[in-house]
């Protein structure tokens, strides 16, 4: 059944909420909705205390390792970690307390999907796909087509998010995380067509993020996906300075499901 899943987005060692499409190397172009005065561990404990499992910690660029480790120490085995994950460090993050690791950019050297890179990450995890989440965060191309975006969502890869690509990747992971990067941080609503397509294509757990504003969007995701897809709400949450919905309301919504 659809549930709310929270996040901890780290940028330059701080918890932030960022407009996804602006997340490039030029910091001057970065649009930030919120910078938290609290350390990452504050949010990890908050999610732990409210039994908000399946939360993801995303390291957006360099300078976030210590902040991510701090989160894991606050809730060992309770958080997924992504951002810069490769075959060289995947096991290290699991040993540090990550429930699962999330991979994106490493799968797409020069913007092209690499099966050998996927195999290498899985091998680093001793073939345990329950420890692996594939992030197929994407940008819309035309009316009803989406392509995976990497490098802070600035580079469009050669992989279309489609039934074919989903079915090809499902045997290698335990779930998908999919940010609609064009919607991320704008609080203008979710990409309903993408949510509907994902529910038709996917047979393993999926978390959608991007544009979530309130409990109404949770209800919409539940209706469109038949309860198959979870929703992350970020910038609209009160704990991230938002006015769309409170964390308490999301926790209570989960408990009613």
Res 184: pLDDT: 60
Res 28: pLDDT: 41
Q: Percent of the chain having pLDDT more than 70?
A: 92
8 A C-beta contact, residue 153 and residue 107 = no
Model confidence pLDDT, tens digit, residues 32-72 = 767 889 999 999 999 999 999 999 999 988 999 999 999 99
Look at residue 21 and tell me whether its pLDDT is greater than 80. Answer: no
Cα 185 → chain centroid: 13
Model confidence pLDDT, tens digit, residues 132-183 = 999 999 999 988 999 999 876 789 999 999 999 999 999 999 999 999 988 6
Helix/strand/coil for 157? strand
Model confidence band, residue 129 (pLDDT cutoffs 50, 70, 90): very high
Look at residue 19 and tell me whether its pLDDT is greater than 70. Answer: no
Look at residue 22 and tell me whether its pLDDT is greater than 50. Answer: no
User: Rounded to two decimals, what is the model's pTM?
Assistant: 0.94
Closest CA to 210 of 181, 240, 175, 244: 181
Phi, psi of 86 (to 5 degrees): -135, 180
CA distances from 160 to 110, 122, 145 (A): 15, 22, 7
Q: What is the DSSP string of 207-243?
A: EEESS--SHHHHHHHHHHHTT-EEEE--TTBGGGT-S
Look at residue 18 and tell me whether its pLDDT is greater than 90. Answer: no
- Structural element, H or E, at residue 155: strand 155-160
Give the ranges where 82-214 is alpha helix by DSSP (H): 90-95, 115-124, 163-169, 192-201
Mean pLDDT, rounded, of the chain: 92
Phi, psi of 48 (to 5 degrees): -60, -45
Res 154: pLDDT: 82
| 3-state SS record for 38-86 | CCHHHHHHHHHHCCCCCEEEEECCCCCHHHHHHHHHHCCCCEEEECCCC
Alpha-carbon span 191 to 37, nearest angstrom: 30
């Amino acid at each position: 059944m659809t549930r709310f899943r929270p996040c901890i987005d780290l940028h330059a060692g701080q918890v932030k909420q960022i407009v996804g499409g602006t997340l490039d190397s030029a910091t001057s172009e970065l649009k930030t909705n919120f910078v938290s005065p609290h350390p990452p561990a504050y949010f990890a404990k908050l999610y732990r205390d409210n039994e908000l499992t399946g939360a993801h910690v995303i390291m957006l660029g360099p300078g976030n390792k210590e902040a991510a480790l701090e989160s894991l120490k606050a809730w060992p085995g309770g958080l997924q970690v992504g951002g810069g994950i490769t075959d060289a460090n995947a096991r290290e993050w699991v040993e540090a307390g990550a429930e699962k690791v999330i991979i994106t950019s490493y799968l797409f050297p020069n913007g092209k999907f690499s099966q050998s890179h996927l195999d290498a990450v899985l091998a680093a995890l001793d073939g345990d796909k329950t420890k692996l989440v594939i992030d197929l965060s994407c940008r819309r191309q035309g009316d009803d087509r989406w392509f995976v975006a990497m490098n802070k969502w600035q580079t469009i890869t050669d992989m279309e998010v489609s039934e074919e690509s989903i079915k090809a990747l499902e045997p290698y992971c335990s779930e998908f995380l999919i940010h609609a990067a064009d919607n991320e941080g704008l609080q203008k609503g979710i990409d309903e067509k993408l949510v509907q397509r994902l529910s038709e294509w996917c047979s393993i757990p999926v978390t959608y993020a991007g544009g979530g504003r309130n409990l109404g969007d949770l209800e919409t995701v539940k209706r469109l996906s038949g309860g198959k897809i979870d929703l992350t709400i970020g910038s609209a949450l009160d704990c991230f300075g938002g006015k769309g919905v409170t964390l308490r309301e999301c926790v209570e919504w989960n408990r009613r499901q």
